[in-house]
């Protein structure tokens, strides 16, 4: 039933986007010439912070390309699950957008294997991007010698956001550094009547899971999960999933998405939320695009429990689909996304740090200054939910397992499902 519903939604949304795109062309002057000048940029950046960052890049794009019309084809829904479902229907129908957002790493492999993407090596040569992107990032996005995306940013997944006043009320003097300390803190908050841990829709719970796995297993064991000899069935994994069950038992009522869950922390209704650092832009940005909160007073941050010294990373990037209706327009957008000007306009609003190493560091203050420092010194681990370590089918299987676990929290059943997902979709 769920798959049929999603398919119906995808078809309906694809039709709406197609009609809107045609309308945009007509408004630009009518006829085929006008529609060819439109550039459809497909993303899931619709929420506060992320939409502001996209708008900032759009303004640069339109200034540099007055002959092109930017068409924002963003689809709402945190982490891009709904957007990817619609994108799949567009690619299957051979009606790709001019460019689409994707997480750098394993998430793009399905598109590459299906022949949906053009290599963009020529852009890396023309813009000398290999000189300004970190070597480890270049390695992660290179497949058989080709590069298929242009990273815009680096995000950190393993951030514990908390309300200092709520912690003080619960008698907690500092953010918990270990999983055991975290569970103790959650219990202390529960006794105050406040929400110990806020969560959003299903994907935010998978986000929580990846943090608990990293915090319990440690960096090396977590990274080993993505190797050919990974052990998803062992006792260490069982312990991690038991911790996940305990932590999830302190969660409040699931919110519609990550923003309202984060807002519960900012408003003092909840103590903790584990979310990526895009939450910083939402907390910090002025009320017309965020909550306008004051850091260290209304909200604060620390590495997720058990993960200090490790940067769990992900990167948003844009692609060049084969058969893009406006290939030249897509390349113009990719150049803005790759540029120092574009990344410095986008990232402070989005709550991320630049993928480029030559960005203006004076623009990255407060939390973002911490992230820049940690990115250069920490161990690295890739995100599950955000496309670094697993393919889309593998991620979907993990999401399904976690969704069932929320309904019936049985650790043995969850572990068996994760073992089967790794066998089916892993190395």
Q: So what's the pLDDT on residue 425?
A: 93
Q: So what's the pLDDT on residue 78?
A: 62
CB 163 within 8 A of CB 266: yes
Residue 20 falls in which region: left (phi positive, over 0), alpha (psi -120 to 50) or beta: alpha
127 with 65, same domain? yes
- Average pLDDT estimate for 126-133: 96
Domain end call among 328, 350, 372: 350
65 with 195, same domain? no
Predicted confidence band of residue 139 (pLDDT cuts 50, 70, 90): confident
254 found inside a domain: yes
What is the 3-state secondary structure of the chain? CHHHHHHHHHHHHHHHHHHHHHHHHHHCCCHHHHHHCEEEEECCCCCCCHHHHHHHHHHHHHHHCCCCEEEECCCCCHHHHHHHHHHHHHHHCCCCCCEEEEECCHHHHHHHHCCCECCCHHHHHHCCHHHCCCHHHHHHCEECCEECCEECEEEECCEEEECHHHHHHCCCCCCCCCHHHHHHHHHHHHCCCCEEECCCCHHHHHHHHHHHHHHHHCHHHHHHCCCCCCCCCCHHHHHHHHHHHHHHCCECCCCCCHHHHHHHHHCCCEEEEEECCHHHHHHHCCCCCCCCCCECCCEEEEECCCCCCEEEEECEEECCECCCCCHHHHHHHHHHHHCHHHHHHHHHHHCCEECCCCCCHHHCCCHHHHHHHHHHHCEEEECCCCCCCCCHHHHHHHHHHHHHHHHCCCHHHHHHHHHHHHHHHCC
CATH of the domain at 216: 3.40.190.10
Q: What is the Cα–Cα distance from 110 to 392, expressed in whole angstroms?
A: 7
256 with 395, same domain? yes
Span 187-198, pLDDT tens digits: 999 999 999 999
Domain end call among 300, 328, 350: 350
Predicted confidence band of residue 29 (pLDDT cuts 50, 70, 90): very low
Is the predicted pLDDT of residue 201 greater than 80, yes or no? yes
Span 203-253, pLDDT tens digits: 999 999 999 999 999 999 999 999 888 999 999 999 999 999 999 999 999
138 with 172, same domain? no
Q: Burial code of 155-191, b = ≥16 C-beta within 10 A, e = fewer? A: bbbbbbbbbbebbebbebeebbbebeebbebbebbbe
292 found inside a domain: yes
Specify the higher pLDDT residue, 12 or 89: 89
47 with 122, same domain? yes
- Average pLDDT estimate for 405-424: 97
80 found inside a domain: yes
Q: What is the Cα–Cα distance from 256 to 426, expressed in whole angstroms?
A: 30
Q: Which two tokens stand for residue 116?
A: 């949906």
Q: What is the Cα–Cα distance from 38 to 24, expressed in whole angstroms?
A: 8
Give the count of beta carbons closer than 10 Å to the beta carbon of residue 200: 23
Specify the higher pLDDT residue, 28 or 141: 141
172 with 58, same domain? no
| Domain encompassing residue 260 | 156-312+385-425
197 with 88, same domain? no
Q: So what's the pLDDT on residue 105?
A: 87
Total number of domains in the chain: 2
The percent of residues above 70 in pLDDT, for the chain, comes to 91
Q: So what's the pLDDT on residue 28?
A: 36
Predicted confidence band of residue 33 (pLDDT cuts 50, 70, 90): very low
129 found inside a domain: yes
Span 103-112, pLDDT tens digits: 988 889 899 9
336 with 292, same domain? no
- Average pLDDT estimate for 24-53: 68
Single pTM value for the model: 0.83
Span 376-387, pLDDT tens digits: 889 889 999 999
- Average pLDDT estimate for 125-142: 89
The chain-wide mean pLDDT, for the chain, equals: 90
303 with 162, same domain? yes
264 with 333, same domain? no
Q: So what's the pLDDT on residue 389?
A: 92
Is the predicted pLDDT of residue 288 greater than 90, yes or no? no
139 found inside a domain: yes
- Average pLDDT estimate for 117-131: 97
- Average pLDDT estimate for 114-126: 97
118 with 216, same domain? no
Q: First CA to last CA across the chain, in angstroms?
A: 30
235 with 341, same domain? no
Specify the higher pLDDT residue, 104 or 173: 173
76 found inside a domain: yes
Strand partners, 321: 117
Domain end call among 298, 331, 350: 350
Task: Name the burial class of residue 225, with classes exposed (0-12), middle (13-18) and buried (19+) by CB atoms within 10 angstroms of its CB.
Answer: buried
Q: So what's the pLDDT on residue 79?
A: 67
DSSP strand pairing (38-42 vs 69-72): parallel
Span 322-370, pLDDT tens digits: 999 999 999 999 999 999 999 999 998 888 999 999 989 999 999 999 9
363 found inside a domain: no
- Average pLDDT estimate for 123-140: 90
364 found inside a domain: no
Q: So what's the pLDDT on residue 16?
A: 38
């Amino acid at each position: 039933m769920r798959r049929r519903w999603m398919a119906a939604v995808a078809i309906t949304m694809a039709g709406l986007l197609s009609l809107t795109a045609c309308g945009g062309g007509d408004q630009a002057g009518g006829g085929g010439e006008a529609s060819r000048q439109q550039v459809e940029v497909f993303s899931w950046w619709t929420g506060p912070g992320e939409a502001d960052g996209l708008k900032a890049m759009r303004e640069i794009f339109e200034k540099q390309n007055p002959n092109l019309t930017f068409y924002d084809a963003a689809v709402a829904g945190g982490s891009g699950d709904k957007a990817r479902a619609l994108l799949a229907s567009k690619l299957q129908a051979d009606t790709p957008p001019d460019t689409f957002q994707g997480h750098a790493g394993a998430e793009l492999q399905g598109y590459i294997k299906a022949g949906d993407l053009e290599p963009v090596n020529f852009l890396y040569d023309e813009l000398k991007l290999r000189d300004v992107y970190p070597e480890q990032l270049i390695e992660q996005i290179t497949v058989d010698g080709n590069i298929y995306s242009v990273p815009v940013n680096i995000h950190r997944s393993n951030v514990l956001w908390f309300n200092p006043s709520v912690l003080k009320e619960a008698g907690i003097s500092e953010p918990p550094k270990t999983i055991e300390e975290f569970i103790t803190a959650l219990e202390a908050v529960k006794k105050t009547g406040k929400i110990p841990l806020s969560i959003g829709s299903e994907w935010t719970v998978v986000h929580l899971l990846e943090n608990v796995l990293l915090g319990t297993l440690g960096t090396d064991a977590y990274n080993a999960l993505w190797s050919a000899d990974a052990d998803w069935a062992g006792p260490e994994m069982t312990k991690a999933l038991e911790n996940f069950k305990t932590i999830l038992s302190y969660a409040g009522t699931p919110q519609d998405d990550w923003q309202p869950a984060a807002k519960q922390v900012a408003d003092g209704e909840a103590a903790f939320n584990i979310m990526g650092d895009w939450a910083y832009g939402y907390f910090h940005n002025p009320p017309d695009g965020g909550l306008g909160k004051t850091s260290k007073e209304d909200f604060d941050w620390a590495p997720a429990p058990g993960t200090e010294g490790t940067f769990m990373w992900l990167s948003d990037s844009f692609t060049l689909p084969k058969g893009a209706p406006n290939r030249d327009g897509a390349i113009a957008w990719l150049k803005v996304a790759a540029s120092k000007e574009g990344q410095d306009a986008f990232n402070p609003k989005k709550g991320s740090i630049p993928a480029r190493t030559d960005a203006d560091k004076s623009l990255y203050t407060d939390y973002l200054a911490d992230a820049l420092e940690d990115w250069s010194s920490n161990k690295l681990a890739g995100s599950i939910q955000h496309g670094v370590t697993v393919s889309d089918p593998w991620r979907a299987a993990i999401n399904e397992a976690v969704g069932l676990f929320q309904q019936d929290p049985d650790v043995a059943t969850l572990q068996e499902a994760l073992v089967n997902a790794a066998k089916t979709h892993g190395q």
